[in-house]
Structure 1
Amino acid sequence: MKKSKLINKILIAATILTLTSGLVACSNGAKNSKGDGKTELVMGLDDTFVPMGFKDNNGELVGFDIDLAKAVEKKLGKKIKFQSIDWSMKESELNNGNIDLIWNGYSVTAERKTKVDFSDVYLNNRQVIITLADSKINSKKDLAGAKVGAQNQSSSVDAINADKETLSKFNDGKVITYETNNDALMDLESKRIDAVVADEILARYYIKGRGESKYKVLKEDFGNESYAVGIKKGNTQLLNDFNKALKEVIKDGTAGEISKKWFGQDIVVK
C-alpha cells in the first residue's frame, strides 16, 4: 500500500508540474503575441535628411516624419523616442535591438524586405538626377564620363546599381558615395562632382531653400519608390498595431495637414 501511495503521489506531482509548465508556456505565448510590452519605442533616423527628419538652427529635431511620428504615438499608445543613427548601419541597429523603428524617408526595396518588415506605405517618391543649372547634362545618357554622387547605403545607390548599363559609363564606372545627401549636394555646388542622385522629396526641398535657379532636375530618373517604416522581422504585433495607428492618422486628416505644412500639399498615400 505504501508503495502504491508513493507512486500515486509521484504521478500527481508530475501532473501538477506538467499543468504548471503549460500555464507558463501559455502565459509567455500571450505576452509574445502582444509584442514585447514596451511602452517606449526608439525611432532610428538620419538627422540630416531634410525635410523628413533633421536638426534645425536651434539643434531641435524637426521634419515631416518627426511630426508624423508624434501623431502616430498618440494613436499607438506608446512613446516614440528619436535616436540619431549612422544610416549605413540602420538594419543592424534594428536587428540588434538598439532601435525599434527605422523611420526617416526609408524607401522600400526588395533587398531591404529580406532584412526588415515594412509598414504600410505612406509616401511615394522617385530617385531624381540633380545637376547645376548650367550643366550640359540633360539626360541619363549625358552621364557618360560624369562624376555622380549619392548617399552611402541609400536607396539611391541601390537604384543606380540596378541600372548597370548607365553605371558602367560613369567616371571610373562607379558612384561616389557620401555620408549624407547634404555632403553630396555641397560637392555638386563646388563642382567637384557633376550630378547627384537623391530622393525627389529631399531634392525639391533642398533646391527650394538654396535657390531654384541654381539647379535643374532631369526629366529622366532612376525609378519610383515608396516610403514606409522598418520594423524588426517577426514582430507581427507591433507591425499590426503600428499600421492601425498610421491608418487612423491618415484617415482623420492629421497626416494630410502635416504634409501641407512641409510640402505645400497633401501627398500622403491614402
Structure 2
Amino acid sequence: MINKFIKKVLIVSCIATIGVNLVACKSNKQESVSNKDEIVIGMDDTFIPMGFKDANGETVGFDVDLAKAVGEKLNKKIKFQSIDWSMKESELNNGNIDLIWNGYSVTDERKQNVEFSKVYLNNRQVIITLVDSKINTKNDLVNAKVGAQNQSSAVDAIEADGDIMSKFDGGNVITFETNNDALMDLEAGRIDAVVADEILAKYYINERGKEKYKILKDDFGVEDYAVGMRKGDTKFVEEFNKALDSVIDDGTGAKISEKWFGENIVAK
C-alpha cells in the first residue's frame, strides 16, 4: 500500500515538474521586437566614438545617432542601456535588451547566437603615420617603433600577422591606455606608427587634425560592424534592414558620419 502511495506521489511530482518546465520554456520565448513600442539597445557606454557618456552624462556617439534615426523610421522609441559587454549575448537572449549596437563586429562565432543586420560600417586595423613619414607600406615597419592601444583588437591583429612584430624595434608593440595617447606620442616623434581600428582612428584624427596624419593602404585585417538581434526574429531583421537602408539612402547616415568622422564612411 505504501509503495503504491509513493508511486502515485512520484507520478504527480513528475507531471508537475513537466508542467513547470513547459511553462518556463514558453515564457523564455521572446516576442518579436516588431511588436514592441520601445527598443532597448545594449551598449558599453565607454566606447568612444560609437556610444559613450559625454561630460554632461548624456549618451552620445555615432551609433547612438544612427540608432535614433533608425528608430524614427521604425516609429519606435529608443532606450539605451549600459551592460556588461562580456554578457551582451546573454542579455539579448534573456530579453533584457532587444539589440546589441555598439561597434559590434560580425564573426562566425557570433552568428551562432544572434541574427545580424546588414553591415553598416566596414572596419580595418589601419597603420597611421605622420604625413611626412617615410613609412608607406607594412614592410616599412621593420625596425620601426609601433604603438597600439593596450588589450585592443589592433594588438591581436598584429600578433596574428606572422612574425612581423618580431621585426619591430624592440620586437614588441608599444602599448598605450588610449588611441589618443598613442597619437600624441606619434606627433612627438617617440613612436613611428600607430595601429588602430579605422573607425576609432578616423574619429581621433578628425579631432586632432587630419592634415597631420596619413593612413596607409596596407592594413592588419578587416572586420564589419552590424547590429545584433535575437536569433529567429527574422521578421524584425527584415523591418530593421529596410529602416537602415532608408536612413542611408536619404543621406541621414552620411550626415551622422560626417559629424563624427569628418567624412562619410557608412557602408552601402
TM-score, reference length from structure 2: 0.72
In structure 1, the partner of 2:42 is: 43
- Residues 36-115 of structure 1: pairs in structure 2 closer than 5 A: 41=40, 43-45=42-44, 47-50=46-49, 52-56=50-54, 58-71=56-69, 75=74, 80-83=79-82, 90-91=85-86, 93-94=87-88, 103-109=101-107, 113=110
In structure 1, the partner of 2:218 is: 220
Q: Is the 8 Å Cα contact of residues 67 and 258 (structure 1) preserved in structure 2?
A: no
In structure 2, the partner of 1:181 is: 179
Say if 2:28 is the partner of 1:32: yes
Aligned-partner residue type, residue 119 of structure 1: F
TM superposition shift of 1:224: 1.9
SS of corresponding position for 1:217: strand
In structure 1, the partner of 2:243 is: 249
Question: Please, which of 18, 43, 49 is the counterpart of residue 22 of structure 1?
Answer: 18
Q: C-alpha deviations, 1:50-73, integer Å up to 9, x for none?
A: 2x2244464533222112333556
Say if 2:158 is the partner of 1:163: no
SS of corresponding position for 2:147: strand
Deviates more, 1:62-71 or 1:243-252: 243-252
TM superposition shift of 1:49: 2.1
Q: Is the 8 Å Cα contact of residues 45 and 53 (structure 1) preserved in structure 2?
A: yes
In structure 1, the partner of 2:231 is: 236
TM superposition shift of 1:143: 0.8
In structure 2, the partner of 1:149 is: 147
In structure 1, the partner of 2:254 is: 260
Give me the identity figure in percent. Answer: 48
Q: Is the 8 Å Cα contact of residues 48 and 180 (structure 1) preserved in structure 2?
A: no
Q: Is the 8 Å Cα contact of residues 105 and 228 (structure 1) preserved in structure 2?
A: yes
TM superposition shift of 1:258: 4.3
Count of residues in Structure 1 that have an aligned counterpart in Structure 2: 253
**2: distance between equivalents of 1:187 and 1:106?**
28
Q: Is the 8 Å Cα contact of residues 45 and 104 (structure 1) preserved in structure 2?
A: yes
Aligned-partner residue type, residue 183 of structure 1: D
Question: Please, which of 119, 133, 136 is the counterpart of residue 134 of structure 2?
Answer: 136
Q: Is the 8 Å Cα contact of residues 138 and 218 (structure 2) preserved in structure 1?
A: yes
**Structure 1 segments unaligned to the other structure (5+ residues):** none
TM superposition shift of 1:185: 1.9
**1: distance between equivalents of 2:76 and 2:21?**
27
Q: C-alpha deviations, 1:112-164, integer Å up to 9, x for none?
A: 64996463333212121111122221211111122212223332222212212
**2: distance between equivalents of 1:255 and 1:44?**
26
